[in-house]
Amino acid sequence: MSVLITNIGELVTNRPGDQAGAAAFAAVAGAALVIDDGLVAWTGPASRAPAADQVVDAGGRAVLPGFVDSHAHLVFAGERSAEFAARMAGLPYQAGGIRSTVAATRQASDDQLRANLRKLAAEMLAQGITTFECKSGYGLTVPDEARSVALAAEATPEVTYLGAHVVPPEFAADRAGYVDLVCGAMLEACAPHAKWVDVFCERGAFDRDEAAAVLAAGQAAGLQPRVHANQLAEGPGVQLAVQAGAASADHCTHLDGADVDALASSDTVATLLPGVEFSTRQPYPDARRLLDAGATVALATDCNPGSCFSSSMALCIALAVREMHMTTQEAVWAATAGGARALRRTDVGHLGVGARADLVMLEAPSHSYLAYRPGVPLVAGFWLGGRGVVGGQQVVGGQQTVEGVRSGG
Ligand SMILES: [Zn+2]
């Protein structure tokens, strides 16, 4: 069945960027979009829209590609609100806080972890995130990491093996032994469920040589690399990511000139996670420097119970615009097409013909409202693989308005 969404105030289509053309924000005013068989079949001026089996009148609202969250940690148990409150009262963030979530996660049942993951994935979708990446990294034993990636794979194809999140307490005196485990039996148990291998390359976590070993072992097992890099201080993470051909170097909060140059002259996306700086009260990454140098920038939530327990891409966009001097167009591109690039996906993050019909409709006439009205829930509805939900109601046949769908009419 085909669906025509018409009377769209602003349709953000994006150009994802490839050999055919430069990546850029792109939008059409007074637009329409046709979905057929779960894919975008047509976009253009509403006055020229073709007929379809079902018509939804957007009432002048903006429609965007669904947000692509390329960095999230959703397989965990417990919460760390007391740590957050203490941090806001003056204690610094340290990588070791992860260990308290590790303890809770190991004690949780599969069903508890699954229920928490599903709740967070639903929370993301209701806020317009239609694709998300999900990491392991709170198990840190062979069985706990294996079940973490298996649970993540139930929820998303973008599963990342992050056995190298921190060294667990039982290996405190044997770091090399833990790296061997991450590169050996743990990897073997996790690789069948994962697409990506990641490592937290940071003081207090894994150094350059340890991180390089983890990425090389993961790549040998068929996984593609991504790196937690340069979050807390300058360090080797970004250079390592670029040298390994990583899809993404994530955080990029503390970069030197060589790091910026390396990102700008590579396919490695600089994924910025401003919710973390917000939640840890740290300086934001220098997005302008990266963009002006020509690096590809993505925005992601880093939703996790420690350093940023937010699943709001709208918050990331607002912070990127207000605090990091990205334009509203750059921020929205980074949260959609940029995230797709960071996951090496060409089927999401834009609304070109043939893209997955993953879209978000705003209770607003333009994308800029995501930063202009911070903290306000602006998602009027979403389509996921062509299936529409507006105001919590499934969009079903015939002629509909957004108000009509909402009222079940
Ligand atoms: Zn992370």
Give the pLDDT of residue 386: 87
pTM above 0.95, yes or no: yes
- What's the 225 CA to ligand 1 centre distance in angstroms? 14
Interval between CA 216 and ligand 1 midpoint (Å): 20
pLDDT band per the 50, 70, 90 thresholds, residue 348: very high
* Distance between Cα 72 and ligand 1 center (Å): 6
- Which run of H or E residues covers position 245? none
Strand partners, 226: 198
> What's the CA-to-centroid distance between 229 and ligand 1, angstroms?
10
Compute, in angstroms, the gap from residue 400 CA to the centroid of ligand 1: 41
Name which of 18-22, 264-268, 336-340 the model is least confident about.
18-22
Give the chain's radius of gyration (CA, Å). 21
pLDDT band of 20, cuts 50, 70, 90 = low
Q: How close is the Cα of 237 to the center of ligand 1, in Å? A: 13
Instruction: Report how far residue 317's alpha carbon sits from residue 172's, in angstroms, rounded to the nearest whole number.
Output: 38
Residue 251 Cα to ligand 1 midpoint, Å, equals 8
Are 406 and 391 within 8 A, CB to CB? yes
How many angstroms separate the alpha carbon of residue 236 from the centre of ligand 1? Answer: 17
Q: Read off the pLDDT of each residue in 314-341 and give the average, rounded to a whole number.
A: 98
| pLDDT band at 17; cut points 50, 70, 90 | low
pLDDT in tens, 41-88: 999 999 999 999 999 999 999 999 999 999 999 999 999 999 999 889
pLDDT band for position 183 (50/70/90)?
very high
Distance 85 CA to ligand 1 centre (A): 20
- For 84-134, what is each residue's pLDDT tens digit? 998 899 887 665 578 899 999 999 999 999 999 999 999 999 999 999 999
pLDDT tier, 196 (very low <50, low <70, confident <90, very high otherwise)? very high
Query: What pLDDT score does 21 carry?
Result: 59
Q: Give the sign of the dihedral formed by CA 202, CA 158, CA 194, CA 267.
A: negative
pLDDT of residue 409: 58
Centre of ligand 1 from the C-alpha of residue 71, in Å: 6
Q: Is the pLDDT of residue 157 over 70?
A: yes
Give the separation between CA 106 and CA 90, rounded to whole angstroms: 29
Query: Ligand 1 mean position to 172 CA, how many Å?
Result: 21
Q: Which two tokens stand for residue 140?
A: 């840190």
Distance 16 CA to ligand 1 centre (A): 24
On the question of pLDDT at 321 being above 90, the answer is: yes
> What pLDDT is stored for residue 398 in this prediction?
82
Mean confidence (pLDDT) of the chain: 95
Ligand 1 centre distance from Cα of residue 228 (Å): 6
CA of 279 to the centre of ligand 1 (A): 13
* 98 CA from centroid of ligand 1 (Å): 11
pLDDT band at 1 (very low <50, low <70, confident <90, very high): confident
Name the residues around ion ligand 1, CB cutoff 5 A.
302
Instruction: Mention every residue, 6+ apart, whose C-beta is less than 8 A from residue 405.
Output: 56, 381, 388, 390, 391, 393, 395
Q: In the predicted model, is pLDDT for residue 276 greater than 90?
A: yes
User: What separation in Å is there between the alpha carbon of 304 and the centre of ligand 1?
Assistant: 7
* Distance in Å, CA 110 to ligand 1 centroid: 22
Q: What is the pLDDT of residue 95?
A: 55
CA nearest neighbour of 320 among 298, 348, 292, 342: 298
Distance 52 CA to ligand 1 centre (A): 42
